[in-house]
Structure 1
Amino acid sequence: MGSTRIDKKIRKKKLGLIIIIFLLLLATFIVLLTLTDVFNVKKINILGNNKIEEKKILLASGVNIGENIFKINTNIIEKNLLLHPYIKSIKVDRKLPSTLIINITEKKELLAIEYIGSYIYLDDEGKILSILADSKHKDVPFVTGLKVEKANVDEKIVLSDYKIDDISVLAKICKLNGIYSELLKIEFIKDKKIRLYMKAGTKVALNDLNNVKYKLSFVKSMLSDLKQRNENSGTIRFDKGDNPIYVKGQ
């Protein structure tokens, strides 16, 4: 009975000693982490950026070479960078001992709307990514004939006569059926008529945005046929009856 009590006391003392040693080692490790330069950031890798310059990302992140990697708040970096209109998502990781990895997913430009001598670049949600003095991105179709009521970067554009969602759907359907890369311009003319201009020279008189998916399925097959015939100077018309026709030289 007496020996059992003594054994319990010895075990308690051993456990207490182990805990004290562990805490001392932990404290020593933490001190080393914060004081030694082994864990100071020496390299920042930025991945996934195509549109945004690396130096702008570094500046917006607020991270400096030489900072202790464990003192850096990755959540704050992510919040800071998500304020950039071109950044869709971001993940910041530590690669010990001294590398920080910033992995970015950028938003993609869907359309560029002509506006008072400049171009408003939009993402697939109709939000404004940038407003530039000229059309620098030749792979993005531009849109003419729209009246813009409100245009603020990182906000959804507001139009007078159309909903941007309807126009975005038109561009997205063009992407889905494979003619987006061939599309040069979308023109909105009087009486809500719409005309597409293809890079090869063919025009498409859509008439309006009704049944646009159905219409564009015809456009794809007709453009393919015209390409085989080396014919690209006319217009595919949806405003001359129930079925589309191709008119040369218009």
Structure 2
Amino acid sequence: MGRRRKWALLSLLVVILLAFFCIKKYCVIKEIEVEGNKRATADEIKDYIFDKSYDVNTLVFWIKSKFEKKKSIPFVATYDIDMISSTKVKITIYEKDIVGYMQYMGSYIYFDKDGIIVESSSELIEDVPLITGLNFDNFVLNEKLPVNNEDVFNMILDLTQNIRKYKLSVDKIYISEEFESTLYIGNVKVLLGSSDDINQKLSDLSDMSDKLEGKSGTLDMKEVDRDGQGYAMKVK
């Protein structure tokens, strides 16, 4: 019985070693597909998720993806992982909904449509407008920006949605205490005034955007053009 037990244990050890060798050699993720990412590159996403050399092992990665907390990735709300095969993984990225950013003590503070700070970073995202005019003393990540009137976030959302809708390249948005907005497009300052008729104003601005290229001055759009007379521009 002693000899049989030794042979049984030896055989079991050999099987375990062979299984370990096969898993290490053949169960390796070779293809990683990333979709849904706009702000981060596919390689950056891979570096965050596969941050250990052994993460490319199929078994190790499957266990970690099922039981470990998801990695924290800048500007990413969450992500899904699908094991397509033993050698292929698909990662679907869901990015944070960012409507604007502010500058604060050398950092860029990004917030969503509800005014919640979703990211504080040294990285500047080019397609997100700078918002100025909001007064606050401090902020807490993942909490709402402490401003006097939270209705300002609805105004900012309406503005940024229409800016995207009409594909306007806006560098900066200024919001006054009276809830009047001013856009800065290159060297042109656009006075939009209140949020009344904002959709029509930005539609008109889109129609004349080509004519503003290379210009410098102030365009007054506080009152929407209803009679086809156009808008007054004070050229510098």
TM-score normalised over the length of structure 2: 0.68
1:80 positional shift: 1.5
> What's the secondary structure of 2:118's corresponding residue?
strand
Q: What letter corresponds to residue 166 of structure 2 in structure 1?
A: N
Distance 1:206 1:122 in 2: 22
2:170 counterpart residue number? 183
> What's the secondary structure of 1:51's corresponding residue?
coil
How do 1:208-227 and structure 2 match up within 5 A?
A: 208-224=194-210, 226-227=211-212
Q: Is the 8 A contact 2:102 2:131 kept in 1?
A: yes
1:131 counterpart residue number? 120
Unaligned stretches of 5+ in structure 2? 1-14
Choose from 70, 84, 89 the match for 1:80.
70
Distance 1:175 1:209, change over 3 A: same
2:221 counterpart residue number? 238
Output one character per residue of 1:106-131: Cα deviation in whole Å (capped at 9) or x when no partner. 33543212334432123455443322
1:105 counterpart residue number? 94
Count of matched residue pairs: 208
1:69 positional shift: 5.5
1:90 positional shift: 2.1
Q: What letter corresponds to residue 184 of structure 2 in structure 1?
A: Y
Distance 1:117 1:192, change over 3 A: farther
1:193 counterpart residue number? 180
1:166 counterpart residue number? 155
1:186 positional shift: 0.5
Matched, 1:121 2:110: yes
Distance 2:95 2:53 in 1: 19
Larger Rg: 1
TM-score normalised over the length of structure 1: 0.65
1:141 counterpart residue number? 129
Distance 1:89 1:138 in 2: 22
Distance 2:77 2:216 in 1: 40
Give identity over the alignment, percent: 23
> What's the secondary structure of 1:140's corresponding residue?
coil
How do 1:44-59 and structure 2 match up within 5 A?
A: 45=32, 47-48=34-35, 49=37, 50-51=39-40, 53=44, 54-59=46-51
Distance 1:63 1:129, change over 3 A: farther
1:198 positional shift: 0.5
